[in-house]
């Protein structure tokens, strides 16, 4: 009976089996041929039965889903500034607190002092005139993670990037297998410079540990105007600085969304 569950042709008449098996051959290619001595369905005139090794397998379950945001792009390292590209200002993610003017009305923007000068933000609808808000200049979540069976809080979940680089996504405290959380990639917030348009590449500096500056470049997302910010996801450290799995790139620099 187990054989009949694995091979659909074994519960049909000989003619029906030949028709079904022929259609499978046309779809999946030539099979590996085998015979069976199973007499339950065919009696003494049991035909040769086609066993197919090329049938498609179920894809393994994925616990890490990459999210797409129009204002988050991948940055790449360059040895020096490209003079043909505009230079942009960049900052690590920051939170900025400000007071809402007394004459403010819903839908209006408010000027706050950003890392590179005044910027305009729109307070959330529940804000009130004279109140205070905290504006977070931070990247959007890059991964949505489902905690796999057997995983424990405080430990990391290994994930391979398309280029083969492995990263370790930290599992936060207080969640269990089956729970879902979001992870923010290590990023810089880049201000669109004057004269830049969507699709243009801009170069900017990253101040690494020890005060060493490195040049990066990234494309400006479409629909952004000069003065606005986008998230530039940092590439993995250079091979000469390859770090062990407990380094900042693999661990603490991948933050939890909303924290």
> Alpha-carbon distance 35 to 130, whole Å?
84
User: 137, 116, 93, 94: which is closest to 234 by C-alpha?
Assistant: 93
Across 107-135, b (16+ Cβ under 10 Å) vs e yields eeebebebeeeebebebeeeeeeeeebeb
Compute φ and ψ for 96, nearest 5 degrees: -125, 125
Strands 89-91 and 86-87, by their bridges, are unpaired
List per-residue pLDDT tens for the chain, 259 residues long: 333 333 333 334 444 445 444 544 454 454 444 444 443 333 444 444 443 344 444 445 688 899 989 999 999 999 888 888 999 999 999 999 999 999 999 989 999 999 999 988 899 989 999 999 998 999 999 999 999 998 888 888 888 877 777 888 888 888 889 999 999 999 999 999 999 999 999 999 998 766 678 999 999 999 999 999 999 999 877 665 555 444 334 444 555 554 3
- Residues with Cβ within 8 Å of 160's Cβ and at least 6 positions away in sequence, in order, are 166
The answer to whether the CB of 66 falls within 8 A of the CB of 143 is yes
């Amino acid at each position: 009976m187990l054989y009949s569950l694995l091979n659909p042709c074994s519960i049909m008449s000989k003619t029906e089996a030949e028709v079904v098996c022929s259609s499978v051959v046309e779809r999946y290619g030539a099979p590996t041929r085998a015979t069976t001595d199973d007499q339950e369905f065919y009696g003494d005139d049991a035909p040769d039965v086609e066993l197919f090794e090329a049938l498609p397998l179920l894809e393994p379950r994925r616990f890490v889903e990459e999210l797409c945001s129009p204002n988050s792009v991948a940055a790449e390292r360059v040895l020096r500034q490209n003079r043909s590209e505009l230079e942009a200002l960049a900052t690590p993610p920051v939170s900025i607190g400000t007071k809402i003017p007394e004459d403010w009305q819903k839908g209006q923007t408010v000027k706050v002092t950003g890392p590179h000068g005044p910027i305009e933000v729109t307070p959330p609808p529940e804000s009130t005139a004279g109140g205070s808000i905290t504006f977070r200049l931070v990247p959007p979540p890059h991964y949505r993670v489902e905690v796999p069976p057997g995983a424990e809080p405080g430990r990391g979940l290994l994930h391979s990037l398309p280029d083969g680089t492995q990263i370790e996504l930290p599992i936060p405290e207080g969640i269990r297998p089956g729970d879902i959380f979001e992870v923010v990639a290590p990023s810089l917030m880049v201000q669109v410079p004057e004269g830049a348009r969507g699709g243009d590449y801009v170069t900017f500096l990253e101040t690494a540990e020890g005060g060493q500056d490195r040049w990066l470049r990234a494309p400006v997302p479409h629909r952004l105007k000069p003065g606005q910010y986008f998230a530039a996801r940092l590439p993995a450290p250079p091979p000469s600085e390859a770090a062990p799995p407990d380094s900042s790139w693999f661990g603490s620099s991948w933050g939890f969304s909303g924290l």
